[in-house]
Amino acid sequence: MVNRLLVDLSVVDVVSGDIRPNSAVAIVDGVIAAVGARDSVETQWGDLPAVSLGGAYLSPGLVNMHTHFSLSLPGPGGDAVSAMTAHELALYMADGARRTLLEGVTTVRCVAEKDHADFALRDAIAAGRTIGPRIFTAGRALVCTGGHGFEGTDTLECDGPVGFRHGVRSQLKAGADLIKVMISGGIAGEHEAIATPQLAADELEAVLETAHAWGKKVTAHAGPAPIILQAVELGLDCVEHGYQLTPEVAAAMAAQGTALVPTLVVTRASAFFDQLGVPAWMQQRSLGAGPQHVESYRMALDAGVTILMGSDMPPFWRFEGTSASVREIEHMSDFGLGPAAALKAATIDPAAWLGADAEVGSIEVGKRADLIAMDSDPLADSAALRGIRWVMIEGDLVRDDKNAVLDV
């Protein structure tokens, strides 16, 4: 961890939606010690080693709220991941975490990982034994017997209120930061439809009541409006995907404060599926869901639902000329959110959902120096994020395309 004075930059203020030109940022012990006009910051912190960013736009690091480092979709690509030994899987996930960080994602929320390897990865990153983003994880997602994703070791089959209470407690015992539950079918389930209901009301109530009693939030894989409405009325904290919303359900989500992670990229990801050898039935279901998925997303925007960025695809995956994370932000912007609000939905808003906004999500004094830099204004055009060339996490410089000297 190296103390620095960053100069020759414009600060991207994701809270106000403003750009602050001619700024400087002082970083001490991995924390932002000062941010403001260059002359003012240099007066107090001029003894720190100065690093020029060459006129770049400095933004908080991205936060991806729907991550699977051990993703294994149907097809040969997914089968290869499922067949990995425990040691192979740990190294595979660690490499994915490293690549994610280098793409500018400095915090992730894992929402179903195999064999609890995510806890070891989270702890190894925190201890500095490997590099990667800050991890918040749900451990294994909870499913009914035969439910969505039951085939893998990234889910835990439960039945009945008692079974689901035990499922929640087992993940909390392992160290989960939140709980993930599958309450409907989805794109990747061959013997189900997106609209297939999978939990009874008393089972879902047991999940929410138990997690909330322990101070943990719950997010749900969910597609259809009636199932989402029932969950929202019971106190669900977040919806993943939301393929088939209605205006009424979107309004209920906004009133309850239930956030939406739309994962728009997953219903327009044919090239990604081709790379993995995903079967035709899944590709057809994915692409077929795309138009209604966008309509549902726009309903959520109109209702004022809090939108959070999550890719579902591995965050680092190179896709359509950029990373999956940036492509998701572009979709969020293009389909109605706009670039400034899309960046906010990929920084401070997810940090707030995670309860981490006092530490990350914006460039403010006292927060961790999780920062990215690019040469164009991301508040004017989300495509600017394709030009990320500099990445720092907690004051450690892990990527600098113009200088080979890094901290790790």
Tens of pLDDT along 305-327? 999 999 999 999 999 999 999 99
- Cβ atoms 105, 316 nearer than 8 A: yes
pLDDT of residue 403: 84
CA–CA distance, 265 with 311 (Å, rounded to integer): 6
Residue 87: other Cβ atoms inside 10 A:
8
pLDDT at 33: 98
pTM score, whole prediction: 0.96
What would the two tokens of residue 17 be? 């939606």
DSSP conformation class of 266: G
CA distance 217 to 137: 11
Which strands make up the sheet holding 238-244, listed edge to edge?
155-158, 141-144, 179-182, 218-224, 238-244, 259-261
- Place 250 in a pLDDT band, splitting at 50, 70 and 90: very high
Q: Which of 104, 125, 60, 108 is nearest to 391 (CA)?
A: 104
Which of 392, 374, 390 lies closest to 382 in space, CA to CA? 374
Q: How many angstroms separate the CA atoms of 7 and 198, rounded?
A: 54
pLDDT digits (tens, 9 = 90+) for 276-289: 898 888 888 888 88
Beta strands in 167-213 (DSSP E): 179-182
pLDDT digits (tens, 9 = 90+) for 191-227: 778 888 899 999 999 999 999 999 999 999 998 999 9
Count of alpha carbons within 13 Å of 396, Cβ hemisphere only?
17
What CATH code is assigned to 4-61+362-400?
2.30.40.10
Q: What integer is the mean pLDDT of 360-384?
A: 98
Residue 405 has a pLDDT of 66
For 62-353, which CATH class?
alpha beta
pLDDT, residue 270, reads 87
CATH 2.30.40.10-classified regions of the chain: 4-61+362-400
Instruction: Report phi then psi at 117, rounded to 5.
Output: -65, -20
Separation in Å, CA 28 to CA 23, 33, 311: 17, 6, 32
What's the half-sphere exposure (Cβ side, CA atoms, 13 Å) at 38? 14
Average pLDDT estimate for 338-361: 98
Per-residue model confidence as pLDDT tens digits over 230-240? 999 999 999 99
Q: Are 214 and 173 in contact (CB under 8 A)?
A: no
DSSP annotation string for 61-122: PEEEEEE-TT---SSHHHHHHHT--HHHHHHHHHHHHHHHHHTTEEEEEE---GGGHHHHHH
Nearest by Cα to 199 from 262, 249, 253, 141: 141
Q: Is the pLDDT of residue 148 over 70?
A: yes
Q: What percent of the chain has pLDDT over 90?
A: 86
State pLDDT tens for residues 110-133.
999 999 999 999 999 999 999 999
Backbone angles phi, psi at 306, to 5 degrees: -70, 125
Span(s) in the chain for CATH 3.20.20.140: 62-353
Hey, which bits of 123-263 come out as E strands? Answer: 134-137, 141-144, 155-158, 179-182, 218-224, 238-244, 259-261
Cα torsion 143, 147, 148, 150 to 10°: value is 80
pLDDT, tens digit, 9 for 90 and up, residues 42-61? 999 999 999 999 999 999 99
Q: What is the pLDDT of residue 273?
A: 87
pLDDT at 192: 77
